A and B are shown apart, each in its own frame.
Chain A
Amino acid sequence: MNFSSPEFLDQVRKKDPEALTAIVKAYGKQIFRASLGAGLREQEAEEVVQETFTAFVQNVSRFEGRSHIRTWLFGILYNKIAESRRKKKRDLANDSIDDVFESRFDMNGSWTRPPRDVEALFSDSELRDQIGSCMEGLSDNQKNAFMLREVEGFPSPEVCEILGVTATNLGVLIYRARNNLRECLEAMGVGK
């Protein structure tokens, strides 16, 4: 089914059950998962998924087909997530991971405090469980960028379009997210 065809979009606008089922089945799980990955609780995530598809149906006539339908849906999703956060007045402070990263090198750029082998410190299941609590410590932007790029595997240009950031900004977000997570895992492995 071509989700970008005028016929399909017209069916969605008319709330044709078959068309709605097709689009929700195609992207519903991925959007729910992205909502969880953005740090929403299960119920909040379901509400945001609902609001995303509702907004999609209400505004479908504005879709001009210049981007992939998935990109448009995820754009709506992250606006909804931002709205949800504003409502709850959640605002995570910035971290100092740049300084932490720099402190691990000497003047010549060589390691003074080399990375530890986290795979040797934890089993696969331990790593999987520890990373969840580490992800909670990321800023909202880092979490969104990491989820889309690293977990969902979206191409960088699409992530930039969805989050409304430049390629350089995306690089900084990914760099900080990855470093925060590995520093967090290393810290959890202290004493092991």
Chain B
Amino acid sequence: MMNCREVSRMIADGSAEGAGFLARMQIRFHHLMCGHCRSFASQLRAVGTAARAHMDKQESSSTGQGGIEDRVIKKILEQDDSPETTTKGGNS
């Protein structure tokens, strides 16, 4: 039987999502019995929702965002054709 610390840790680090059937059932059962752990999970959901809302607001209120795509394209087109750089990119 998992305790509150173990259940909360698995919820917070995301490992509960990929956990096996038995572990997911244990977590679900624990949540049925434990209001504190339900509050913890609820807090995390609220954090995610608030963060997404915050980023939506920041993006839409950003004065620099209007036309940013056009400015990016214009600058690339204005740049001279230079030899390819060795800029480290992501995994290709």
Count A-B pairs with CB separation below 8 Å. Answer: 192
Q: Which residues of B contact A130 (CB under 8 A)?
A: 50
Q: How many residues of B contact A (CB 8 A)?
A: 54
Q: Given A28-B68, A114-B39, are A109 and B73 also a contact pair (CB < 8 Å)? A: no
Q: Which residues of B contact A32 (CB under 8 A)?
A: 59, 65, 68
User: Which B50-70 residues sit within 8 Å CB-CB of chain A?
Assistant: 50-55, 57-59, 62-65, 68-69
Main secondary structure of the interface of B (DSSP, over half): helix
Q: Verify A15–B89 contact, CB threshold 8 A.
A: no
User: Separation in Å of the A2 CB from the closest CB of chain B?
Assistant: 17
Q: Which of B39, B71, B90 contacts A50 (CB 8 A)?
A: B71
Q: Which residues of A contact B53 (CB under 8 A)?
A: 124, 127-128
Q: Verify A172–B58 contact, CB threshold 8 A.
A: no
Q: How many residues of A contact B (CB 8 A)?
A: 80
Q: Verify B75–A129 contact, CB threshold 8 A.
A: no
Q: Which residues of A contact B8 (CB under 8 A)?
A: 101
User: Would you call A137 an interface residue if the criterion is a C-beta within 8 Å of the partner chain's C-beta atoms?
Assistant: no
Q: Which residues of B contact A73 (CB under 8 A)?
A: 90
User: Would you call B25 an interface residue if the criterion is a C-beta within 8 Å of the partner chain's C-beta atoms?
Assistant: no
User: Would you call A187 an interface residue if the criterion is a C-beta within 8 Å of the partner chain's C-beta atoms?
Assistant: no
Q: Verify B75–A105 contact, CB threshold 8 A.
A: no
Q: Which of B36, B64, B71, B89 contacts A59 (CB 8 A)?
A: B89
User: Which B24-83 residues sit within 8 Å CB-CB of chain A?
Assistant: 36-37, 39-40, 42-44, 46-55, 57-59, 62-65, 68-69, 71-73, 75-77, 79, 81-82
Binding site for B on A (CB under 8 A): 15, 17, 20-21, 24-25, 28-29, 32-33, 36-37, 42-43, 45-46, 49-50, 53-59, 61-67, 71-76, 78-79, 101-102, 105, 108-111, 114-119, 124, 127-132, 135, 146-147, 149-151, 156, 161-162, 170-172, 174-175, 178-179, 181-182, 185-186
Residue contacts A-B, CB under 8 angstroms, 20 given: A15-B77, A36-B55, A36-B59, A49-B72, A55-B89, A58-B82, A59-B84, A62-B84, A64-B92, A66-B91, A76-B90, A79-B88, A105-B3, A110-B5, A111-B37, A115-B40, A118-B47, A127-B46, A132-B58, A156-B14
Extra A-B contacts (6), CB below 8 Å, given A72-B90, A135-B54, A150-B51: A17-B77, A42-B63, A109-B3, A117-B43, A130-B50, A171-B14
Binding site for A on B (CB under 8 A): 3-6, 8-9, 12-15, 18, 36-37, 39-40, 42-44, 46-55, 57-59, 62-65, 68-69, 71-73, 75-77, 79, 81-82, 84-85, 87-92
